[in-house]
Amino acid sequence: MTEKNSCKSEDGLKHSEPGERTQSGGRSRKTPGWGWRLPSPFFHFAVLCLAVLLISPLYALEDSARLVFQKTAGGGKNQVHVVKKGEWIAGILRGYFGEEPVPYALIRRLNPGIGNLNRIRPGQRIVLPVPVRSEPSESIPEVVKENASPPVVYRILEGDSISRIILSEMNVNPEEALPAYRLIRKLNPEIQDFNRLSAGQTLHLPPGAPRPDVPPTAPPVAAALQAEKSVAETAAMVDSLLGIIRPVIGRMGGSVTVSGSYFIPLQETTQITIDCAQIPVVELDDGTTVFLDYADRLSENLKGLIRQSWKSYAFLASEGFRDHLGGLLGIIRHSRNYRMMRTDKSLGLTAKPEIFIFPDWIITGTETADGKTYRQGLFMLDPGERPLPSEARAFLEKNGFALTEIAENRAVSSIDTPLALQPAMTDLQALKGIAFAERLLSILGETPIRNAEVVVSDQNRHGFNISVTANLLIRKGEKQFILLTKRLPEQFLQILREAGTEVILIGENDQGRPLIEGVLQGLGIPVSFGHFSYRIPEEGLRPRFTASFSALRTMKEEEPIFLIDFDIPPPLVPFFNGLRGGRVVRY
């Protein structure tokens, strides 16, 4: 039987599917061209007598972790490759094996001293396998062979496990347990996960197995309800734990695995299999691996076995999850590279504009090869408090500061500004003189007229006709203003003033603050230079984000216009354009 979208093989042990690779002991990740291949058909012998090795009983551990012995991969025939500059593991494997799939788990098992296969260095020696032919499958014991007799119907008891049923109810020797397990899977195709058997559920056992004394009555209602409640509570607990852990770890370049199996090689012929659905696994990019044993399923003996072989593996027990940040703190404490601490200080990002953020917690990493230090801020939102706009988040992350906002024990997303509501930044930098003034006045709602003829004197009043061509003409009520780049004689200026026309003289190459103030003050439009700031949230004792800058401020009807002489990062343009209901113009 083949299960679609499942990483279980027919023997019930979970392996990587084609197109997957494993890291740090065997967690599956998608990578084109690679897949799992058994060293020989079904040479995994499930050691269902784990109780002999560990203090905890078998049925208490089997659903979350299994110790497995297997024949040495590659049949003992290996080859050694010395890493050259610029080489990486996928390229090395492709060079030796072409398109033949080679599992990363096998490479890790052959090279236990390499913590991260994705971070190999020149001169490092990597052991590679030499493929060998598969051996015949092990024989199936008489008690589990299929025949024409009908199967035995067994009803699951409270606390039952598949190993107890095989060893006790079917009286199968431990070394013959794996073939028995395969046959039970064939007899029960409707059961997807044999690690989660519910009390009252029926199970078909191979014919010839001893018939249990428990009558096949209807499943106890109380037991069924309790099992359903337990599953729901467990799912809710995991969801609550990961509501913060998953997004924070993801932004650190790590991963959280909550399904499938995690393989931990102990020796060349031994591995432990962890059920990630019950014990999620966190992997950080510094090689740290933390098992979230929030229900204390793993015994100290089993954890001791793992620690002996893998110093970078850590375990977080139930006491580490006393509050919603406890699990995250516990994970970071085990890391070699990262630190997490509460902070009440602001962190500066840019000098102009002067931008500060005020995280409640900060996660930092040691300096990397490019000279940058990893930083992630955690912001604890009050009830009803809105997240930062997505533009602010984009700006922070572009400046090397990851952002996670947490509300009701769960990471929340930023608010996206619709594209239709994102005005572009108006830029006057490339303009000078008359062109600058014309664009500025248009922004403020004026209607300047180019190359307008303005009469200085007429025949009837002065005995002669004189007119000038204004570079720009602006009419405001009964008055009009002309902008000129050429100076007029003083007597002409006097005649124009008497006629209600004011002259504003500007240079052909004028720009910037002097030109803005000269034109606006000449037109009687209020303009002032000052220092402005805003914060998010607008009210409250402590802001999360502040921005301060110097600017010229004027008005277009009721809309403030801030004229600045510095560049604003593109992600913040929509953010600044909404400042106090106004707009920003770059000059």
Which pLDDT does position 500 carry in this prediction? 86
**142-219 topology per CATH:** Membrane-bound Lytic Murein Transglycosylase D; Chain A (3.10.350)
Taking residues 346-375, what's their average pLDDT?
84
pLDDT in tens, 152-177: 888 888 777 777 787 677 777 654 66
DSSP labels, 371-405: S-EEEEEEEEPPTTPPPPBHHHHHHHHHTT-EEEE
Tell me the sheet residues that pair with 474. Answer: 481
Higher pLDDT, 125 or 158: 125
What's this model's pTM, rounded to 2 decimal places?
A: 0.55
| pLDDT exceeds cutoff 60 at 480 | yes
> Cα(485)–Cα(496) distance, rounded to whole angstroms?
16
Tell me the sheet residues that pair with 533. Answer: 548
Report the amino acid identity of residue 325: L
Which pLDDT does position 269 carry in this prediction? 62
Terminal CA-CA length for the chain: 71
Question: Cα–Cα–Cα angle for 25, 31, 36, nearest 5°?
Answer: 55
| Token pair 């900060």: residue | 362
Higher pLDDT, 363 or 497: 363
pLDDT in tens, 531-583: 988 887 777 777 888 888 999 999 998 889 999 999 887 777 777 776 667 88
Structure tokens that stand for 11 in this block: 């023997």
Using a pLDDT cut of 90, give the percent of the chain over it: 22
Which pLDDT does position 410 carry in this prediction? 85
Provide the pLDDT confidence category of residue 264 given band limits of 50, 70 and 90.
Answer: confident
Question: Cα–Cα–Cα angle for 184, 187, 192, nearest 5°?
Answer: 75
Higher pLDDT, 418 or 389: 389
Q: If you average pLDDT over every residue of the chain, what do you get?
A: 75
Nearest one of 86, 87, 122, 116 to 104, comparing CA atoms = 116
Q: What is the dihedral of CA 293, 64, 27, 317, to 10 degrees?
A: 10
Which pLDDT does position 71 carry in this prediction? 34
DSSP labels, 1-27: ---TT--B-TTS-B-PPTTEEEETTTE
Tell me the sheet residues that pair with 341. Answer: 362
pLDDT in tens, 215-263: 444 444 454 445 444 545 555 666 677 888 999 998 888 999 888 888 8
Provide the pLDDT confidence category of residue 313 given band limits of 50, 70 and 90.
Answer: very high
Question: Options 3.30.70, 3.40.1350, 3.30.310, 1.10.287; which CATH number does 432-510 get?
Answer: 3.40.1350
Provide the pLDDT confidence category of residue 212 given band limits of 50, 70 and 90.
Answer: very low
Is the CA virtual torsion 49, 51, 53, 56 positive or negative? positive
Provide the pLDDT confidence category of residue 516 given band limits of 50, 70 and 90.
Answer: very high
pLDDT in tens, 27-82: 433 333 333 333 333 333 333 333 333 333 333 344 466 554 433 333 345 678 89
Which pLDDT does position 54 carry in this prediction? 39
Provide the pLDDT confidence category of residue 23 given band limits of 50, 70 and 90.
Answer: very low
Taking residues 406-413, what's their average pLDDT?
85
- Domains of the chain, residue spans: 142-219, 432-510
Phi, psi (degrees; rounded to nearest 5) at 306: -65, -45
Structure tokens that stand for 551 in this block: 């600017």
Which pLDDT does position 513 carry in this prediction? 94
Taking residues 277-303, what's their average pLDDT?
89
Q: What burial letters (b/e) apply to 301-312, b meaning 16+ CB within 10 Å?
A: ebbebbeeebeb
